Amino acid sequence: MSRAYSVREATRLREAGMTVTAIAKQLGISRSTVSAWINDPDLSKQRKRRRERYSGVCGNCGSLTDGSGGRAAAPKLCSPCQHEKEKAEARWPKEAILAAMREYVERYGELPSGFVWNPALLRSKGRADLAERFNRDGCWPLAITVSWRFGTWNDAMREAGFSTMRQGQTRRRPGREVAA
């Protein structure tokens, strides 16, 4: 007897008013199997639950990623973020990002940071002036694009030929002395 036939038979018997226990005895299978067949005859609910268990969390926005590839193959980014990443990578090859970093240093006399290349963050922190400068004065990639292309901001800075800071280290601005 095929599974499809057994599912149809269990559903027919249930609609005729038989209990799950009686159907299980008649078909010679467990009660849990009969219950599963009646509640999810095409297994769509089971597949959906499995995909949800296998899904991951987007490393960019925090939403769930697609789990249809299996437990070990959950993507690191959700579909919208993956699409944005691919668009950014097409527009900003590594060489163009490195050239933009060097141009920023020439123009402003300071190293770029992920903060000043993130206009949304600048606005939320009350630095609309820097956000306007970002949009007005040059064509810079967004900080997330730099991180996507190089892995980290510091990796990009090193590849551009600039020194980077260690974890927890902060730069002192010229003219600001630390009180002893």
pLDDT tens, residue by residue, 98-125 = 999 999 999 999 999 999 999 889 999 9
Residue 6's CB is within 10 A of a number of other CB atoms, namely 16
Q: Which two tokens stand for residue 32?
A: 């849990």
pLDDT for 166: 61
Q: 56, 76 in Cβ contact below 8 A?
A: yes
Residue stretches of the chain with pLDDT short of 50: 176-180
Whole-structure pTM value: 0.53
Q: 30, 19 in Cβ contact below 8 A?
A: no
pLDDT for 177: 46
pLDDT for 18: 93
